[in-house]
């Protein structure tokens, strides 16, 4: 993959619903695409030791995170017959109810789109060096562990 085609999946703040809608709307011109699979990750109001999470603060080491993301992206394109792949991951403080991860895969057939979307979400959660600090209602915090 050439350097100029490398995309930065990280956005400061939540992924805006109108941005997601615009990405989806732009795909109507892909006449040979038959399926889109979409994943939206949203910050939950989990309860931790009796206190409710009010936000998650996402941080990353940019160079390491970008390199890991591009390795994952290239592996997904090598494995699945995708027309395109969109990933937008939040950095910064994201409040409960806001979207922190948007993934969209497009393929000729639904199985490839769904399987690729599922795999990239799982790999992002396991392999991407992005850390989430859960901010609790009393401003205490704890580092989030993915399950």
Residue 105 lies in a domain: yes
pLDDT (0 to 100) of residue 1: 42
Residue 53 lies in a domain: yes
Q: Is the dihedral of CA 65, 70, 35, 12 positive or negative?
A: positive
3-state secondary structure of 58: strand
Q: What's the rounded Cα separation, in Å, for the pair 3 and 84?
A: 17
pLDDT (0 to 100) of residue 5: 65
Residue 1 lies in a domain: no
The CA–CA distances, whole Å, from 79 to 42, 50, 58, 73, 76 equal: 27, 43, 29, 10, 5
Residue 2 lies in a domain: no
Residue 132 lies in a domain: yes
Residue 106 lies in a domain: yes
Residue 3 lies in a domain: no
pLDDT (0 to 100) of residue 54: 98
pLDDT (0 to 100) of residue 62: 87
Count of domains observed in the chain: 1
pLDDT (0 to 100) of residue 82: 96
Task: Determine the structural domain holding residue 103 and report its residue range.
Answer: 8-143
pLDDT (0 to 100) of residue 7: 86
CATH code: domain of residue 127? 3.90.1170.40
Residues in the chain where the model's pLDDT stays below 50 = 1-4
């Amino acid at each position: 993959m050439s350097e100029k085609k490398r995309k930065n999946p990280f956005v400061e703040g939540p992924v805006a619903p109108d941005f997601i809608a615009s990405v989806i709307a732009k795909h109507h011109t892909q006449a040979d695409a038959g399926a889109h699979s979409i994943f939206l990750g949203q910050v939950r109001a989990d309860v931790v030791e009796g206190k409710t999470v009010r936000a998650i603060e996402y941080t990353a080491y940019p160079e390491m995170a970008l390199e890991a993301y591009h390795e994952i992206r290239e592996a997904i394109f090598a494995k699945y017959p995708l027309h395109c792949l969109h990933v937008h991951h939040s950095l910064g403080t994201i409040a409960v109810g806001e979207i922190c991860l948007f993934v969209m895969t497009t393929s000729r057939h639904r199985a490839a789109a769904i399987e690729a979307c599922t795999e990239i979400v799982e790999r992002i959660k396991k392999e991407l060096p992005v850390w989430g600090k859960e901010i609790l209602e009393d401003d205490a915090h704890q580092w989030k562990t993915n399950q």
